[in-house]
């Protein structure tokens, strides 16, 4: 019997879809893996740019599609309305609909529940794909997308992919093959994992304000050093450094941000805003595992082409360290300089097997604000 992933890809191909622009979601990692083995996958840094690339491709008579997580729609709406729909360009959007079916992450729920209303308000028709059998319901609307120059959303419930591929196996493999390594990265010989890097800086974080990135980084920090002055992000990818800047401008205490390469790439302009204010009490730990670690280790652009230390320097940050060993991480943490520090920590992909954080958003918020008074 064909897997739901194979049936999905067959339908896309039959409708003439040339390529699929995507940003991963944990629930569709097996599907993304298959799409990429068909040579159809283009990885994005931010969902919004996918709308622009797809518009350019449609103007060049190609048939693009996008595959995203429901949270990503929030990053796309302006471009969808003022570009794709305004010019009547075709774009099917396959949305991994989080927050409504067996959802363990509370922060997925607000966007997941609002999704249909947002689509309706934007005038984007949608089709619900709630189980494996519904996959065939993609065919007819997908054909109309290309014949009539429309946007159409397909809401893919995680139930569709449940139990078909052993997710553990997909988790263990690198989802995409890396052909050539970014040379600087290769010279750095990434040996540490994110977990080990956080363990190394643990004593520097103690009793300070820490903003930790969504997904596994927050869970790892919780396991390594739980303290009320940790603000654990549970959602809102790309907001770790902005939150850290907002806090650091309003306290004299030291603020550390544990950010990720995927998240920094989603919202890199924040580095310019940070350089503009240049607060000395802010340190950004950019833990660069060259992957979207929390969603199955799909590579980010730092694996092949992008150097985050150079990016930060280009945006005007002056104190930049590129480190991959314990000694170098410690030296960077101890360096006493004026202005914001950007510590580019080159690590290898890999997630510790850590449980969910047993705190509600309110508990996290109140714990953090309770400690914020200047000492
Ligand atoms: C707008 C948006 N798109 C996609 C996701 C799904 N998502 C959650 S965590 C994550 C990966 C984050 O990668 P990175 O910042 O490199 O951190 P890592 O997990 O590798 O430490 C993704 C893609 C999301 N939460 N929000």
Backbone angles phi, psi at 114, to 5 degrees: -80, -10
The list of the chain residues with pLDDT below 70 reads 163-184, 374-375
So what's the pLDDT on residue 180? 43
**What are the start and end residues of each CATH 3.40.50.970 domain in the chain?**
4-172, 183-371
What CA–CA distances, in Å, run from 189 to 304, 323, 324?
A: 14, 10, 7
Q: Is 219 in the pocket of ligand 1 (CB under 6 A)?
A: no
Contact between 31 and 296 (Cβ < 8 Å): no
So what's the pLDDT on residue 157? 97
The answer as to CATH 3.40.50.720 being correct for domain 183-371 is: no
Task: Give the separation between CA 162 and CA 165, rounded to whole angstroms.
Answer: 8
Q: Is 237 in the pocket of ligand 1 (CB under 6 A)?
A: yes
So what's the pLDDT on residue 177? 39
So what's the pLDDT on residue 171? 42
| Beta strand spans in 159-215 (E) | 209-212
- Rg value, the chain, Cα: 21
From 292, 302, 303, 311, give the residue whose CB has the most ligand 1 atoms within 8 Å, as the site to mutate. 292
pLDDT digits (tens, 9 = 90+) for 160-199: 998 655 444 444 444 343 344 466 677 777 899 999 999 9
- CB-CB neighbours of 325 under 10 Å: 16
Q: Is 329 in the pocket of ligand 1 (CB under 6 A)?
A: no
CATH number of the 4-172 domain: 3.40.50.970
Contact between 27 and 160 (Cβ < 8 Å): no
Q: Is 50 in the pocket of ligand 1 (CB under 6 A)?
A: no
So what's the pLDDT on residue 366? 96
């Amino acid at each position: 019997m064909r897997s739901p992933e194979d049936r999905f890809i067959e339908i896309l191909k039959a409708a003439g879809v040339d390529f699929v622009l995507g940003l991963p979601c944990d629930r569709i990692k097996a599907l993304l893996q298959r799409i990429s083995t068909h040579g159809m996958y283009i990885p994005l840094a931010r969902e919004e740019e996918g709308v622009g690339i797809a518009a350019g491709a449609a103007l060049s008579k190609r048939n693009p599609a996008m595959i995203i997580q429901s949270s990503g729609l929030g990053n796309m709406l302006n471009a969808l309305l003022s570009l794709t729909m305004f010019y009547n360009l075709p774009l099917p959007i396959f949305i991994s609909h989080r927050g409504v079916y067996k959802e363990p992450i509370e922060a997925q729920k607000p966007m997941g529940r609002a999704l249909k209303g947002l689509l309706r308000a934007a005038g984007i028709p949608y089709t619900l794909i709630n189980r494996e059998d519904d996959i065939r319901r993609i065919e007819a609307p997908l054909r109309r997308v290309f014949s009539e120059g429309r946007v159409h959303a397909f809401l893919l419930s995680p139930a569709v992919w449940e139990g078909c591929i052993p997710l553990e196996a997909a988790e263990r493999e690198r989802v995409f093959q890396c052909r050539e390594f970014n040379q600087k990265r290769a010279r750095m010989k990434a040996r540490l994992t994110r977990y080990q890097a956080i363990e190394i800086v643990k004593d520097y974080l103690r009793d300070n304000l820490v903003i930790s990135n969504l997904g596994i980084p927050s869970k790892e920090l919780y396991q390594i050093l739980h303290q009320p002055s940790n603000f654990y992000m549970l959602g809102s990818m790309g907001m770790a450094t902005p939150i850290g800047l907002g806090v650091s401008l309003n306290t004299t205490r030291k603020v550390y941000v544990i950010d990720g390469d995927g998240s920094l790439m989603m919202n890199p302009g924040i580095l310019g805003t940070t350089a503009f204010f240049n607060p000395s009490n802010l340190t950004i730990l950019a833990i660069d595992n060259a992957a979207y670690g929390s969603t199955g280790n799909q590579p980010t652009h730092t694996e092949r082409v992008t150097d985050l230390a150079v990016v930060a320097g280009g945006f005007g940050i002056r104190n930049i360290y590129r480190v991959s060993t314990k000694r170098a991480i410690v030296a960077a943490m101890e360096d006493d300089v004026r202005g914001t520090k950007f510590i580019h920590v080159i690590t290898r992909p890999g997630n510790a097997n850590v449980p969910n954080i047993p705190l509600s958003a309110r508990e996290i918020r109140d714990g953090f604000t309770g400690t914020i008074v200047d000492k």
